[in-house]
A and B are shown apart, each in its own frame.
Chain A
Amino acid sequence: MAPAQVDFVPLIPTIVVTVTALAVLLLGLWLRGEQGIWLAAVSIAGLVAALVFLLGLAGPAVSERRAAFDGMIVADNLSTFFGAVALVIAILTILLSEHVLLIERFSQGEYYALVLLTTVGMLVLTAATDLIVLILGLEILSISLYVLTGFARGRLGSEEAALKYFLLGAFALGFLVYGSALVYGATGTTTFGQIANVLRAPGASSPLLLIGLGLLLVGFGFKLSFVPFHMWTPDVYEGAPSAVTGFMAVGTKAAVFGSLLRILTEAFPALRAEWAAVLWLLAILTMILGNFAAIAQRNVKRMLAYSSIAQAGYIVLAVIAADPLGRAGVMFYVLAYTFMNLGAFAVVVAVADRGDVGTTLDHYVGLARRSPILALAMGVFMLSLAGVPPTAGFMAKLFVFTAAVRAGYVDLAIIGVLTSAVATFYYLRVIVAMYMSAPAEEPAPAPALRVPGPLLALLVIALVATFGLGIFPAVTGDLVGGTLALAK
């Protein structure tokens, strides 16, 4: 008996990143301290190679699907887009972390290997067209992140965050696995396409299936921190090392939103009314609570955590719309969010002292004097998160709101617009703090901040992208537009 349909080609980027991770893990045993720069270089080289393979894979015929392993894995526009975003996020994270590892004396090989393994999880997740592979990808992603969250060993906040994240994550995984089991029980298959086929028959919907779908949404809701599954987010974001928080915030969102979009449209198109109703409720709760809770925060990391909750609420709008405009909206928003949020965390990393001390608003007072470039960059990222033109955040919001309006969810768009008006307040507060003069009681002005090279590179990339996506969003049109072919 010949082995089942085996096609490794769609897996090449994943394999490349895995091998890089193993190599970095081993090299890390010998390369220490200042030599760690080579580990970063090897990691980035591996990620770039994977990116080349991924985009080469997409090649000229972007709209062609390539399924492998009996339809458990697929290479298509969706996986290419979100996979590419995941790889870019990983590259930027390495730029973000390089000097942190030295200052904090973290084990560099392990750190990079874990970042790479998280990326492997993202790649698997975005390419998964089968419930089992989906859970596999999600767990590779999550377990690596649990460890990264607790990477600052000996720092109580970090350990507590890791434990909380792990326990609640395991709890949420239970919902996901149980949901998958129920869906399997109801349809007799775990592959997305076949689930959709089964459901196409009239009367295929059953209580078992709906409960399964509900539990799956709970699992996704936890990972994307929708209200009311969001409560871990502020604690974990605050406790984790800032660089990891940035990685976690954008990386998880990119991969899990890609996966959510896929499973809802490829496996459950027949249940659109049901899942749209649930997401409708979650979106409203998420937008309102996320934004209002953010107002009360004094800690910038915590504020960004609530902001990320709120931003997830906006992306859901486009998921609910689920038409070509909605898909493009999800993609564009995720891309814009990647740059502006990772950029914001880069500033947080640069401002904080050793041990992530100094993340409250008070530490941002007078930042404009200590480092004009950091203050300027943070100002741009805040405005972009608030959705002020001509930044990427404005186009992203316009995109998802328009998609929601078009799909008939005017109520969601109105709530979105109103809550983002509320949001300007807390984003603006950071800018106000940065451009205020330092408190008078300080005898000597705080010393100027030095921005390390890789971090500066990251900031420049994020700034260019934030403006680029805002002023020339059509540039992404090819990638985004290509995926529109998937809409049928």
Chain B
Amino acid sequence: MPTAYLPLLVLQALAVGFTALILAVSFLLGPRRPESHRMVPYESGIRPVQDARRRFPVKFTLVAMLFIVFDVEAVFFYPWAVTYRQLKLFGLIEMLIFVAILLVGYVYIWKRGALEWE
């Protein structure tokens, strides 16, 4: 057993132990007074009208997916912005190409009608 990994094991043990400890403590010490108001998801919020597990239009999924795709791609801008000064013109051109590819995708989903709701 390489000793180099020992701290990792300790960390794991600590993480698991601490979680268990917190759960156990709140279970043992916390007062329990079950009543109907306390059992709803949002105790002082709006009353749920029905079960959360219901079907909803697939369009939500589509939009969510498209959002994630473009959002994650936007993340690339951050490291680029940080090193922009070192990369100079080369960096600018590279990013323009990247944006152009994004743009192709954008035009494509627009024309295919993925953004239209009805």
Determine the chain B residues whose CB is within 8 A of the CB of A1 once the complex forms.
Answer: 86
The answer to the question of B108 belonging to the interface, with a C-beta cut-off of 8 Å to chain A, is yes
Q: Is the interface of A mostly helix, strand, loop or mixed?
A: loop
State how many angstroms separate the Cβ of A22 from the closest Cβ of chain B: 5
- Minimum Cβ distance to chain B for residue A106 (Å): 14
Instruction: For B111, give the chain A residue with the smallest CB separation.
Output: A29
Nearest CB in chain A to that of B90: its residue: A3
A29 touches B87 (CB 8 A): no
**B107 at the A/B interface (Cβ < 8 Å)?**
yes
B90 x A25 contact (CB < 8 A): no
A29 CA / B109 CA spacing, docked (Å): 10
CB neighbours (8 Å) of B101 from chain A are 22
Q: Given B86, B87, B108, which contacts A26 in the complex, CB threshold below 8 Å?
A: B108
Q: Which of A1-37 contact B (CB under 8 A)?
A: 1, 3, 6, 22, 25-26, 29
Bound Cα distance A22, B97 (Å): 12
Q: Which residues in window 62-118 of B have CB below 8 A to A?
A: 86-87, 90-91, 101, 104, 107-108, 111-112
Q: Which residues of B contact A6 (CB under 8 A)?
A: 90
Q: In the assembled complex, how far is the CB of residue A209 from the closest CB belonging to chain B, in whole angstroms?
A: 14
Number of residues in A with C-beta < 8 Å to the partner?
A: 7
| Residues from chain A with Cβ under 8 Å of B86 in the complex | 1
B contacts with A: majority SS? helix
Bound CA span A26–B107, Å: 8
Residue numbers in B under 8 Å from A3 (CB-CB): 87, 90-91
CB contact between A22 and one of B91, B104, B112 (< 8 Å): that residue: B104
Given the complex of chains A and B, what is the CA–CA distance between A6 and B90 in angstroms?
A: 11
* B108 proximity list for chain A (CB < 8 A): 25-26, 29
Contact B104 A25 (CB under 8 A): yes
Contact B112 A29 (CB under 8 A): yes
A1 to B85, CA, bound (A): 10
CB distance from B97 to the nearest CB of A (A): 10
Q: Which chain B residues lie closer than 8 Å to A25 at the CB level? A: 104, 108
Contact A26 B112 (CB under 8 A): no
Q: Which residues on the B side are within 8 Å of A22 (C-beta)?
A: 101, 104
Task: Tell me the nearest residue of chain A to B94, going by C-beta.
Answer: A3
What CA separation (Å) do A26 and B86 show in the bound complex?
34
In the docked arrangement, what's the CA distance between A6 and B88, Å?
15
Interface centre among B87, B101, B108, B111 (most CB of A within 10 A): B108
**Distance (whole angstroms) from the CB of A431 to the closest CB of chain B:** 45
Q: Residue of B at shortest CB range from A29?
A: B111
CB A38 to nearest CB in B, in angstroms, measures: 17
Q: B112: which A residues are within 8 A, CB to CB?
A: 29
A410-454 near B? 1/0 per residue, CB < 8 Å: 000000000000000000000000000000000000000000000
How distant is A282 from chain B, measured CB to nearest CB, in Å?
31
Separation of A22 and B112 alpha carbons in the complex (Å): 15
**Which residues of chain A are within 8 angstroms of B91 by Cβ–Cβ distance?**
3
Query: Complex: how many Å from CA A26 to CA B106?
Result: 10
Binding site for A on B (CB under 8 A): 86-87, 90-91, 101, 104, 107-108, 111-112
In addition to A3-B87, A29-B107, A29-B111, 7 A-B residue pairs with Cβ atoms within 8 Å of each other are A1-B86, A3-B90, A3-B91, A6-B90, A25-B104, A26-B107, A29-B108
15 A/B residue pairs, CB under 8 Å, sorted by A? A1-B86, A3-B87, A3-B90, A6-B90, A22-B101, A22-B104, A25-B104, A25-B108, A26-B104, A26-B107, A26-B108, A29-B107, A29-B108, A29-B111, A29-B112
In the A-B complex, the 8 residue pairs with the smallest Cβ-Cβ separation, listed nearest first, are A29-B111, A22-B104, A1-B86, A25-B108, A3-B90, A26-B104, A26-B107, A26-B108
